[in-house]
Amino acid sequence: MQRELATHAKNTWCPGCGNFAILTSIRAVLKALADEGTPLERVVLVSGIGCHAKIVDYINVNSFYSIHGRVTPVAEAIKIARPDLKVIGFAGDGDAYGEGLEHLVFAAKRNIDITMIIHNNRVYGLTTGQYTPTSPQGFKGRSTPRGALEVPLNPLELMLASGATFLARGYSGGLELLKKLFREAISHKGFALVDVLQVCATFFNMYEYYNQKVYELKEHDPVNHAQVSAKIREWDYNSDAPIALGILYRKIAPTFDEKFQKPGIDAADRKSKLDELLKPRGTTEADA
Ligand code: SF4
């Protein structure tokens, strides 16, 4: 029987929010995976805190609503405990590139086989418009009425340096490309990150700007490190340079979860070790 992917949860995103494009695209990809024989019971979604996080309420697939900055470690833990599952993390830019940044760096370094989709609206939307690590310099928001003083982070450059093996950039104004990027990222074996320029229609409406600046990569070789580096640096999230969309980088490399499944440690042994680790502190054999 075909699973209904929509839920009965009332959608509370603002009209025009870029999150709708991410929701539509990921639902389409999950439906395609199901049609091709991937049981959706083998997919787990993880979200954090922020407007993005509600996405798991709107998709009828097992999910874990985590806390701010902790989408990545929760996704990693699920993957290690259940390597047979496809784990997809959704996080905002404040969530993933701010409080959760160190987790993202180490997940990329490990090349753990999870997919991270970043709703990068470059503003804290849920808390009504403060600047984030990717807001442009001069951004005027609730916490920076005279303009943000800092230069923004280029998250894709950082992820490349950290060891990620799949990097892409999408835009909430381009649905077909988003579907393609999500599909490729989920199929990739290793740490995949899709940075989505997801417009916050209420606190940082960048549709007009992005529509003028974005272009889709055509003749780009995602395995050529020099080309990849140059393309990732072409736009630094601050300048008025053209903004490349598409798959920027792809590499095949052993994953952390594969290495973790060492020969000689069978599934039952691993489970008992995990159960031991997850026991509440102070629990003794006698309490069990
Ligand atoms: Fe979307 Fe911004 Fe509204 Fe949040 S505040 S739902 S990100 S438009």
200 C-beta closer than 6 A to ligand 1: yes
Pocket test for ligand 1, best of 198, 202, 204 (most atoms within 8 A of CB): 202
Q: With contact defined as beta carbons under 8 Å apart, do 81 and 38 qualify?
A: no
Query: In ligand 1, which atom is closest to the CA atom of 201?
Result: 8
SS3 of residue 282 by DSSP: coil
List the residue whose alpha carbon is closest to atom 1 of ligand 1.
17
Q: What is the pLDDT along the chain (288 residues), one digit of tens a residue?
A: 457 899 999 999 999 999 999 999 999 999 999 999 999 999 999 999 999 999 999 999 999 999 999 999 999 999 999 999 999 999 999 999 999 999 999 999 999 999 999 999 999 999 999 999 999 999 999 999 999 999 999 999 999 999 999 999 999 999 999 999 999 999 999 999 999 999 999 999 999 999 999 999 999 999 999 999 999 999 999 999 999 999 999 999 999 988 887 655 566 676 677 677 667 776 555 554
227-250 core/surface letters (b: 16 or more CB in 10 A; e: else): ebeebbeebebbeeeebbbbbbbb
Tally Cβ neighbours within 10 Å of residue 209.
14
Burial class (CB in 10 A: 0-12, 13-18, 19+), 62: middle
CA distance 125 to 130: 8
Domains of the chain: 19-254 (3.40.50.970)
Residue 203 CB–ligand 1 contact under 6 Å: yes
For residue 179, give both structure tokens: 């579907």
